[in-house]
Amino acid sequence: MVKQLQPKSHRIAILAEGSFGILESKTATVLVRYLPENVVAVIDSENAGRDTSEIIEIGEGIPVVQDLAEAMQFKPTMLAIGIAPPGGELPHAWRAILHEAIHNRLHVMSGLHQFLSEDAELAELAASHEVLLWDARKPPANLPVATCKADDVDATVILTVGSDCRVGKMLSGIEVTRTARERGLDAEFCPTGQNGIMVWGWGIAIDAVVSDFTAGAAEQIVLEGAADHSLLIVEGQGSLVHPGYSGVTLSLLHGSLPDAMIFCHQPSRDTVARYTV
Amino acid sequence: MVKQLQPKSHRIAILAEGSFGILESKTATVLVRYLPENVVAVIDSENAGRDTSEIIEIGEGIPVVQDLAEAMQFKPTMLAIGIAPPGGELPHAWRAILHEAIHNRLHVMSGLHQFLSEDAELAELAASHEVLLWDARKPPANLPVATCKADDVDATVILTVGSDCRVGKMLSGIEVTRTARERGLDAEFCPTGQNGIMVWGWGIAIDAVVSDFTAGAAEQIVLEGAADHSLLIVEGQGSLVHPGYSGVTLSLLHGSLPDAMIFCHQPSRDTVARYTV
């Protein structure tokens, strides 16, 4: 199981250049929502000078700044890439910003499909400046094919599912977990995506797993969570009707074998986002 | 699109040590069935001295031999790994056989998940002996997320589906393609697994694609096939009810968006093979 380094121990500048918004920069929004004491600035020249809460309704007191140089005034120790572009590749224009961040000795946290730690140039630069490149989406090695073992765990397993991407599956999972804990239940959130992993500190980004092993990764997450907890809230991904990601969703369902599901839907949405079929 | 090097131009020795059988060594069986003029020997010490047809009912005249040294009598130019172990990793005992094959200047063709071309030791050895390591399962770079473009092609798209693994989805696809061609239709087989790729010479092994891009890979295969042909028979994978592989199957369905499906089932099977739930 991948235990990630902990963003909770860092001062985070979030890179959301040109795309800061409640849905456009989901990673940025999640970090502001769940790690508000750690986020010191959001970088987006289009909104520079405003307060984060003016744009995404949360994060009051966190400034939006022009560039990394301005963000450095707030003494960050980490740069988080706040956007997940379709395809998950590093936008070319951001390489210079990453170079600058590494030269400023910031660790870099990324949820991109393209792994920064495997980019020879960035990896060498990071090593020479003694900073880490954290790829939250990088799956562990040697994942198994699923074997239905998740059906045998003593814990009660709840999976959040939904009608589309970005309808609140992760947020519902975190909020239900927190509420269950407040009520005295031994609940654990089981992240299956890069944003949940960044916030919660463990998990596997199952959309980055080779498809033969995706259900096996979901099974591993449940087995790991069930070893220490009696109630698991597993973060859902995609949707069974999503043209691009349905296979990820079905793998997660068959790998985690939940006892119950929480269905998330945005009532105002009448098509799958970005698709017109 | 990955155009594989052509096994049809080689003399092939198949490695099936300890597991030669009609289902145990599916790759070996497929190569014997569809490339009988190219296969010169099958290596399996447990069945050495017998004829291939005594074991898998096809391949009359192809000898089963004790080891690679004996296979070399038949002047192979390529060693094909004939087994797909669950998990897809190279059995440790086979490394020595691969070393011996490369020293004997045989190309190596593999459908394992573990890519031989990325194994530093084997890659170096192959380079120094001027032979190639062909990983039929290695997906192309930069696959897209699916966008439903497969729905727009002019070609008629037929997908073979099934109730389990190993029930004849690939064979049905190849046989229907051949029959359609015999009847004058402009049919093309679209391989989505390593065995089909080895036989047919193109395609993408979608179970080796990162899950976010698996439907996109299926879409790419259809777009590629539809550029030149009016009837596509897309090779199915897994099953929608398979605990380990259902996500691969649903990705393939939503990526290829078939006009029709051919359902493959083995009537004597009443559970999913290897699973008891």
Averaged pLDDT, B46-72: 97
CB pairs under 8 A between A and B: 118
Which three-class secondary structure string do you get for A144-163? CCCCCHHHHCCCEEEEEEEC
In a domain, A274, yes or no: no
Among the partner-chain residues A87, A242, A250, the one whose CB lies closest to the CB of B246 is A250
Both B32 and B94 in a single domain? yes
Q: Which residues of B touch A245 (CB under 8 A)?
A: 145, 212, 215
Looking at residue A275, its pLDDT comes to: 87
Domain boundary among B78, B104, B135: B135
Looking at residue A1, its pLDDT comes to: 42
CA B142/CA A114 separation, integer angstroms: 10
Both B191 and B112 in a single domain? no
In a domain, A276, yes or no: no
Take residue A210 and report the two structure tokens written for it: 């080779």
In total, how many domains does chain A have? 2
Residue type, B99: H
Both A96 and A156 in a single domain? no
Domain boundary among A69, A104, A135: A135
Range B38-76 burial, b when 16+ CB lie within 10 A, else e: bbbbbbbeebeeeebeebbeebeebbbbeebebbbeeeb
In a domain, A235, yes or no: yes
Averaged pLDDT, A189-199: 95
Both A233 and A131 in a single domain? no
In a domain, B277, yes or no: no
Residues in chain B: 277
Q: Which residues of B touch A141 (CB under 8 A)?
A: none
Closest CA to A244 of B224, B205, B217: B217
In a domain, A166, yes or no: yes
Q: Residue B18 is part of which domain span?
A: 7-135
Contact B210 A211 (CB under 8 A): yes
Looking at residue B1, its pLDDT comes to: 43
Both B174 and B68 in a single domain? no
Domain boundary among B135, B158, B178: B135
Query: What tens digit of pLDDT does each residue of A130-156 get?
Result: 999 999 999 998 899 999 999 999 999
Take residue B260 and report the two structure tokens written for it: 């029709």
Question: Strand ranges (DSSP E) for chain A?
Answer: 12-15, 39-43, 64-65, 78-81, 107-110, 133-135, 156-162, 187-190, 231-234, 260-264
In a domain, A131, yes or no: yes
Contact B212 A144 (CB under 8 A): no
- Residue in chain A closest to B206 (alpha carbons) equals A211
Q: Which residues of A touch B252 (CB under 8 A)?
A: 247
Both B182 and B93 in a single domain? no
ipTM of the complex: 0.89
Both B126 and B157 in a single domain? no
Contact B208 A208 (CB under 8 A): no
Both B198 and B120 in a single domain? no
Q: Which residues of A touch B215 (CB under 8 A)?
A: 243-247
- Residue in chain A closest to B275 (alpha carbons) equals A147
Distance of residue A243 Cα from the nearest chain B Cα, in angstroms: 6
Both B178 and B61 in a single domain? no
Looking at residue A2, its pLDDT comes to: 44
In a domain, A49, yes or no: yes
Averaged pLDDT, B143-166: 96
Both A172 and A115 in a single domain? no
Contact B211 A247 (CB under 8 A): yes
- Point out the least confidently predicted range of A20-34, B29-43, B52-66: A20-34
Contact A212 B144 (CB under 8 A): no
Looking at residue B91, its pLDDT comes to: 84
* Interface with chain A: mutation pick from B145, B211, B246, highest number of A CBs within 10 Å: B211
Both B68 and B188 in a single domain? no
CATH number where A203 lies = 3.40.50.300
Both A106 and A130 in a single domain? yes
In a domain, A142, yes or no: no
**Cβ–Cβ < 8 Å for A243, A277:** yes
Distance of residue A150 Cα from the nearest chain B Cα, in angstroms: 11
Which three-class secondary structure string do you get for B3-45? ECCCHHHCCEEEECCCCCCCCCCHHHHHHHHHCCCCEEEEECH
Looking at residue A4, its pLDDT comes to: 56
- Point out the least confidently predicted range of A3-17, A90-104, B9-23: A3-17
Averaged pLDDT, B256-271: 95
